[in-house]
Amino acid sequence: MQRTTCGFDSAREFSEGLAPLIVGGKFGFADQTGKLIIPASFSEARNFAEGLAPVGVGHREGYIDKTGKSMWQSGD
C-alpha cells in the first residue's frame, strides 16, 4: 500500500466530522484537515454514528467516542 501525501495509507468517508484511516496497518481517525485526532491503534474501525464508532483490537470489539475514550463490550 502506498502512503498518501497526508501521511496515511488510506481513508474512508467522513461521518460526524471524522474519517477512519489507516496508518501503518492500524486504524485511527482524522478530521477534515487531515489531522490525526484519534491515534491509529485499532485493527478495525467504522464510521461514527450518534457520537460512537465501532472499533476492534484483536478479538476485542467495542466503541469509542470522539475523544478516543473506549467502551469495550463485555465478554472476552
Task: Go through the domains of the chain in sequence order and give each one's CATH number.
Answer: 10-72 (2.40.10)
More confident: 5 or 63 = 63
pLDDT for position 71: 87
* Average pLDDT for 39-51: 96
- Condensed to tens digits (0 to 9), the pLDDT of residues 55-69 reads 999 889 999 999 999
Among residues 44, 49, 39, 34, which one has the least CA distance to residue 4? 34
Among residues 74, 49, 47, which one has the least CA distance to residue 62? 74
Cβ neighbour number for residue 7 with a 10 Å cutoff = 12
